[in-house]
Chain A
């Protein structure tokens, strides 16, 4: 006869174990692989013909690669928000969200590292950073802090996964490839008190360490811009502005992922309406915070309207980029905040739609931070070809950029195929605790 404890644990394990992809999952994976292949082909063309295949020229020397890089760095911050900050603040409902946010963080920061190499043109220049890099340069700080964050995020993903690996070894077919894979990763986990004690301690240490590193990663990324004397970037506020935006897109990304996993794996019992409600409130808070920094970034220079800033601000407000700018502000920030303010808006489907708007808006917001400033130099653009005065990404740039986004999603997809996206062991413990509390 099964005990209540066994019944709970078996039910949770059965619900949360990774499952084979259905038809939709296979189509999704195939689409991502095709997009990655297209991106690789675009990169092959860029490698063989140089950066001339891109739309980047003398003035707009940073294009959608850098926008994409900043987007990846931004969304990766969610790992520290949900896992570390919520853990240290003892937010109880965080459990089902921790692994979702950590895998988003790992895949995003991985592709941030790759896309920056793509932007360099010749990949060996990445090596030059280590051989000839100057510690005085924010680019060097960014490289150091990205590597650090990537390692910490991988540890943050792996260490809490150890108890689940034991469950997966036990529940996978004996002698199968997947069992061998799980055993390779975590056969040493016995679940002893000493091991739990040490892993708990390690997780606490990472939680504390990753927060300043996460703040550093996005602050330093913002300094790549702010330490450059250009209209739109010459701001002392950029670190805080970038971090607030990063938390917003990260939270939006988690809401989207929650909805997709809940639907795909029927996880309604674990990713409940309550989680969408809480995350919706967090998105509102972060959206308002980011909106506040946006007002600072645009209103103050617009009030003074220095000659050099004028070209940049006019291009954003009423010029070449105005449609994209206002669409991004309204759909990527204002509408989600308004909709999510209401309890009905925080239901799973509307929250998911708002999350999608936040994420897409965040990508274009990065584009609007990068490109209009590049096209507003202090010295007027004079006697240059017309193509130098505008920036239109080529298909190679789009294919590489979309390929990198697909690559990040593919990493998450493959992870979900082999590992539980909601921590099994932690969920069992949590449910048992709740049951005990109820019993008393």
Chain B
């Protein structure tokens, strides 16, 4: 009787074990799909930067993926075209500035072809992304007439016959700030038939000690030209006079910058009161001396 109860219990346990969802969990794990977006960025005539954004879909939302190794190539996926490898950060971004040894190649071509690849690992399958960029540049002209200032940008693309104006491209005019550009117009402006757009500079904005700010024009994420920015330092800002009150003798300064009036008053009080205490201690010594003398 006892044996049959035990057998029955073990059989039930076995059935539960076989039907439990965790049993085949390891086999059920599927690799995720990694989305890789590659973009091109160039500021003034500096070496261009390639930016790869890695994302994956989690609970119906795209989330950045940290720690993915992205390989960057120019022209073709080969050793000769290998630009470098970067690991994506917390925002899923891997950035690489094109190394200087590729400068001649960039100067020689009017069209660039970039590839970003991610090699299969435990979590994700192989994936790659490619972009083709046509060489372009922005020329910026600054006009200053007394208080009135304006800035105009001209977008030029390198064609077979040299630099040609590019119409109907959205351009914006910006001032460099710490974390992102500040637009000086409310909307994007479109380049005209001469590839030009212009905007009045009407904002008041703090610059450096001399009022210098970097003003310029920018096109963003264009399918042919990527993101291009041109800025130049102009004395159009308000000179920033740094608040150096921390370096002065104030109540909120560091201990070595205690205000003189506080030092004087506090020390007078402390010295006065403690002088009394020392005097009292001296009186005690005298009382003791009188007692000992007798």
Binding site for B on A (CB under 8 A): 132-136, 141, 144, 148, 151-152, 155, 159, 162, 187-190, 192, 194-195, 198-199, 201-202, 205-206, 209, 213
Contacts and interface: CB of A to CB of B under 8 A. Distances in A.
B273 interface: yes
A188 B290 CA distance: 8
A202 B283 contact: yes
A125 B216 CA distance: 52
B60 interface: no
Nearest to B276: A209
A132 B277 CA distance: 25
A192 B294 contact: yes
B259 A190 contact: no
Interface residues on B, range: 20 to 34
21 contacts: A132-B255, A134-B254, A135-B258, A135-B263, A135-B266, A136-B251, A136-B255, A148-B277, A152-B277, A159-B280, A188-B290, A188-B292, A192-B290, A195-B287, A195-B290, A198-B286, A202-B283, A205-B279, A205-B280, A209-B273, A209-B277
B6 interface: no
B255 A189 contact: no
A155 B277 contact: yes
Contact of B291 (A132, A195, A206): A195
A290 to B, nearest CB: 27
B283 to A, nearest CB: 5
B268 interface: no
A140 B64 CA distance: 49
B291 A189 contact: yes
Majority SS at the chain B contact face: helix
Contacts of B280: 155, 159, 202, 205-206
Contacts of B2: none
B283 A136 contact: no
Contacts of A192: 290-291, 294
B119 interface: no
B258 A134 contact: yes
Contacts of A209: 273, 276-277
A148 B291 contact: no
Contacts of A198: 283, 286-287, 290
A135 B255 contact: yes
Interface string B249-265: 01111110011001100
A157 to B, nearest CB: 13
A198 B276 CA distance: 14
A135 B284 CA distance: 31
Contacts of B276: 205, 209
A162 B273 contact: no
Nearest to A208: B276
B270 interface: yes
